[in-house]
Amino acid sequence: MNTKGRDNRTWLFPVLAISLTWAVVLVVGGMTSVFSTSCEDLVLAYETAMVAALYALCRAYGLRKESAAVLALSISITPFMFYFQIGGRGPLFGALPLVFGAWALLRCLMATKTPSLMALPAAFLVFLTLSWGRAQEGAALLIIAAACAGEVFAKDRRRAGWIAASVLLGIAAYAPVAGDLAGWNGGLFNSGRLVPTLGQVLNLSNPVWMPHVLSGTGEFLPAAPIFFAAWFAQPLLFFIDWRRLEWKGTAGIAGLAGIFLFLAVGPERLGPLSFPLLWVPYVQAALLVLLFTLAEQGNLVVSRARLGWAFAAFAVTSYCAVMEYPEPALHAAPLLLLPAVFIAALPKFLRTASLPFFLAVTTAILAVATIWTFSGAELAIPHPSALLAHPAAWHPFAFLAPAIGFAIWAYFAAAEARSAGRHS
Amino acid sequence: MTGRLDKFRPLGFALLGVFGVMSFIYELDHRFFFMDDRQIQYFPYGLVIRDALLHGNFPWVTIRTFFGGALWLDPQYGLYNPLSLAMDFLINREDLLFSAFLISLILNLLLTASAYTLGRAYGLQRNFAALLGLMAGINIYVLYFLSDTWQPGLISLVWFLLAWAGLKKLAETRGNVALRVLGASALIFLTVSSGWPHQYVALAAVMAVLFADTWRQDRKRALRLVWAGALGAIFSLPVLAPVATAAGYWTRAGGLFNNGVFTPDLGDILNFSNPAWLPHYRNAFMRVSPVPLFFAGWFVLPLLMMANLRRAARKLWKEQGGLLAILGVFILLVFSAQNMGPLRWPMRWLVDAQLASLATVLLLAQTTTLRADALRIKVALGALGVTTLAAIVESPPETAAVLWLVVLPALFIGALPFIKDRLAGFLGATSVVMVMAMALCFHSSSLFIDHGKRADSPGAAVADDGSQGYTFYWGIKEGFDDLSDERDFLLGGMGGYYNINTTNGYSSYSYKGLDEVFPGFHDFSYFAGTEKPHLAAREPETGAAFVDLLKISKIVTEKKAAPEGLGNGWHQSAETTPLTFEKHVTGGMAFDKDRLVTLRRRDANKLPGTVSWWSPGMAVGGAARPEANGETIDIKNGAQAGLVVFARLYYPGFRATLDHAPLRVRPLDGMLVAVEIPPDAAGALTLSFVPPFFGACLTLVALALAGWAAFFVAETKGRF
């Protein structure tokens, strides 16, 4: 039994040759290879793990359960996930759920009563992430750990030490192959390939925003709204009373959002790191967690003027979307009706307990509509009808994700009913 | 008298600053202001127009007006624009480089004055208005993009800012306004006649916002804008009508698409305070801009940091809501698609947006108390640090080479707490220093000669031959010293788009979509091995090669290399082509990265005038006799109906007569002028060009003027 699994082929990743893509240990990869029977299963496993990890991450940042569920749902079904993580690199190469899980545990280390106990699973997840063999995910973890340790350092140096220790432990387990690091290609340059711009990354609320991004071969990527993450992110900005906000405690996540944003817009090559586009999920996760952290403070104000500004901002991003890629954007223009309707309905739900339910349902509706609209695009996931016709769709495992969704919905419904009962 | 002069002292200093910066750049490199389109279009056409005027032929709209230039659909040559015409008379064949500098200097000084006027119209104090003017004159985009090449863009900006100021004053003035209405409409006409369609849109946006803003306050005053707009539109008809009649071209050149060329992104727009910001942008190639193209003023971010933004924004919104709305529209325009109907390259709205935002920031600095305490200075320095980091991220090695430039704004920011009451003067003086330092850094760069330093440019390689270093489009060495040679213009008109017609992986994405714009022209290639039809391909109706129909005798261009050193198709020119081109490499070394490559046909076309083909069985004799707006040749046809093809781009308004009897003129393959000749016809075939609806347009202008005169008389008599 060859558990090491290391041979010449582990170096043969064609696209990211310079990245640490050799996955020598491949614990999770190995498990998925053993237990999965088809690629569709892997997708579902990946998505399930993603939802769980994101939920844990949001909870680690103190978000309410409902908010955590909404964000977990939104981020795990973004077009970026479908087009790049699942479609191109997904279950086989994507370690995002591991990173988000490790991020959650490292964050928990800042507050848990038993950091010594938490440090071990955190170290294990760091190890698993590194063993996945992607330089980007490794760098992300180091950045996250540094941010968490930095945030807690002034108040409690011991906890900062636990965070550092868990990361070092995870890294140490990888020491046997450290010598191969010398084989990495470095460099610092930017030729613009797979490098999004600031506007492209920040415009994450418009479902027809199909940005011009050059692929690795110098062509534009296919027209797909790869940066669309959450329709509600931009409108929420206008309903928050910014003057009454407490910024205390948000420095860490805000800093991470800033760092990830910088990494996402380039340069194309930064030592062993390449393809800044792959930082986009981190930016989106950090920004959305930050947004919900602020929104949960209860300083949401409903007014016609704010609704007007939200619509104006939506109109501007829609204009930019059409101008960026006119022909496909106009083709997909009917899709804009959905967020417009959702924005109009948002004030009704904004200060009620059913807001998360509303956001979750609308997110799901928009996700399906987006997939449907862009199903013809290259790299797009199959048309929903084709998905349903596929035998894998009726695999028992396939019902897990809807079951989770149903559980979330049931939870919201129960919470709302309880809340209504209390008010009455 | 001294007191009156004192009022203009700030403007004087601003003009001096512009003069200083431009002279400095000229001294650094005499060739700076003689670049690209100025060589291949504006100067040659300017000379043609000047010669026509000197011979008593006012070129209403010459044939060449519409077939020259990279944007041959745009009426760029300003035939009705006094400033454009005046500049034509400043071209000195003996010293093209100094002519270019002089013209640019004059235009930049005028631009400074017009921005000053606009600032004053919006209530800026004289010193802040002068600062606005200075920043317009030494704006990097203006210096490195408009002043050295796109002369009409510069002229249109001069008129546009004055028109904007005039309309603003018109909306605010109380009492008699007839003269102001005439003035504003004249400025509208001048903006339109300068031939830069982007400013048409900007002007329409300004008028719409001013109208809406004034309508809320006083409907009567708002109506004045309508009158001025209507009068201006009528005055502009002689310019616009010929263009409007060419609907076929508009639809061909139209369409709504974006291939990413000259389309800035959000980061580019936001980061206009950092002198080391070398953005990635796309023209024919994805490349790092060799100059900080979007830099508009080092002080913008620091001033924002020092102002009480919340209070200032509220005040500005209340008092200058119109200006903010205009700024918003301009920014949206900058973010628009690469091609919108006849408009392309949204970066051309950049200066409009930058000047509007500068005016806003200066109003803010003027109307609020700026606090330069330690914390705010630190925040300003922090912002500079962030933008510098962004610059490094954008183009690491390129930025590293010029990173020392960031020291200057850091020092200036540090000095701000010591500036008490001469803020505008300090900002102006430091800006001049800043732009001079940038010129030192970047004078050897060019937006058009790739990354090669000018000292190493193709022109430099042959600078000793008396051609002033520029032979590639207009070189004595190549035998094109006759500037009225029609073939030059054809090359100028179309070569620009042939150049980018390569299909290797690196450049094809950049201009994806141009096929839709120029289906007739762009489908050519002089490279073997591409998917496009070759220039040697046969035109179906005549059976002649396109290169013959176009009378192309030479194609000259430069090699442009992608940042990684990938070629852009030039390697393909090493292959044998069926065109019997000979490869001529100026400077000796073939296919060197920065060398000029010339492809020249062996057999020069000796057909008369611009005639490039005629049907078999027809005889065309003698030399062509040029006329003011055309030419005459002698023909004799056989028993079959025939066709004479001219190497001119077809445009509505061409007329042909055979001994004064009209003949049918039609486009050949959608692009060239073809005249149908009846069987057995013989005589003098005259091809001429008269702008469509020209008489009707002039009549309307006269009627509008008469109407205005009646209004003027009535107003002076107190009836209004």
- Contact yes or no for A218/A333 (Cβ under 8 A): no
Please tell me the distance in Å from A325's CA to the nearest CA on chain B: 6
| Contact of B146 with B153, CB cutoff 8 Å | yes
The CA distance from B395 to the nearest CA of chain A, in Å, is 6
Nearest to A197 among B256, B257, B265 (CB): B265
Stated as kind and residue range, the H or E segment containing B105 is: helix B96-121
Stated as kind and residue range, the H or E segment containing B688 is strand B682-689
Contact B680, B617 (CB under 8 A): no
Both structure tokens of B693: 């609806």
Q: Has this prediction a pTM greater than 0.95?
A: no
Q: Does residue A66 contact residue A20 with C-beta atoms inside 8 Å?
A: no
pLDDT reading at A402 higher than 60: no
Structure tokens at A418: 């309880």
Q: Which residue of A has its CA nearest to B504?
A: A218
d(CA B177, CA B233): 18
Query: What is the arithmetic mean of pLDDT over B425-438?
Result: 95
Contact yes or no for B258 and A214 at CB 8 A: no
Q: Is residue B39 classed as helix, strand or coil in its secondary structure? A: helix
Of B48-52, B533-537, B555-559, B619-623, which gets the smallest average pLDDT?
B555-559
Which one of A191, A195, A323 has the shortest CB-CB distance to B336?
A323
For B380-391, write each residue's pLDDT tens digit. Answer: 999 999 999 999
ipTM of this predicted complex?
0.79
Distance (Å, whole) CA B390 – CA A194? 17
Distance CA A12, CA A21 (A): 9
Q: Looking at CA atoms only, how far is residue A346 from chain B in angstroms?
A: 26
If you average pLDDT over residues B270-287, what whole number do you get?
Answer: 76
DSSP A177-232: GGGGGGG----EE---BT---HHHHH--S-TT-----B-TTSSBPPS--TT---TT
Report CB contact under 8 Å: A198, B270: yes
- Rounded percentage of chain B residues whose pLDDT exceeds 90: 39
Q: Which residues of chain A lie closer than 8 angstroms to B393, CB-CB?
A: 190, 262, 265-267
For B585-636, the pLDDT digits (tens) are 332 223 333 333 344 443 445 678 778 899 999 998 877 777 667 789 999 9
Reported as a pLDDT band with limits 50, 70 and 90, residue B531 is: very low
Q: So what's the pLDDT on residue A413?
A: 54
pLDDT by residue (tens digit) across B124-138?
999 999 999 999 999
Q: Quick check: A349 pLDDT over 70?
A: yes
B394 and A322: CB-CB below 8 Å? Answer: no
Percent of residues, chain B, with pLDDT higher than 70:
70
B17-71 pLDDT tens trace: 999 999 999 888 777 887 666 765 677 667 767 877 887 777 655 544 443 333 3
DSSP H helices, A77-134, are 79-80, 90-93, 96-108, 115-131
CA distance A223 to chain B (A): 12
Q: Is pLDDT of B560 > 90?
A: no
Q: How many CB atoms lie within 10 A of CB B635?
A: 21
Tell me the average pLDDT across B393-398. 83
Contacts of B337 in chain A (CB under 8 A): 322-324, 326
Q: Residue B495 above 70 pLDDT?
A: no
Considering only CB atoms, A324 lies closest to which of B258, B267, B563, namely B258
Q: Which residues of A touch B263 (CB under 8 A)?
A: 212
Residue A217, chain B, CB below 8 Å: the answer is yes
Task: Find residue B557's DSSP bridge partners.
Answer: B597
| Residues of B within an 8 Å Cβ radius of A | 256-258, 260, 263, 265-268, 270, 280, 286, 288, 332, 335-337, 389-390, 392-397, 505-506, 509, 512, 563-564
- Best B277, B278, B280 residue to mutate vs chain A (most A CBs within 10 Å): B280
Q: Work out the number of other CB atoms within 10 angstroms of the CB of residue A413.
A: 12
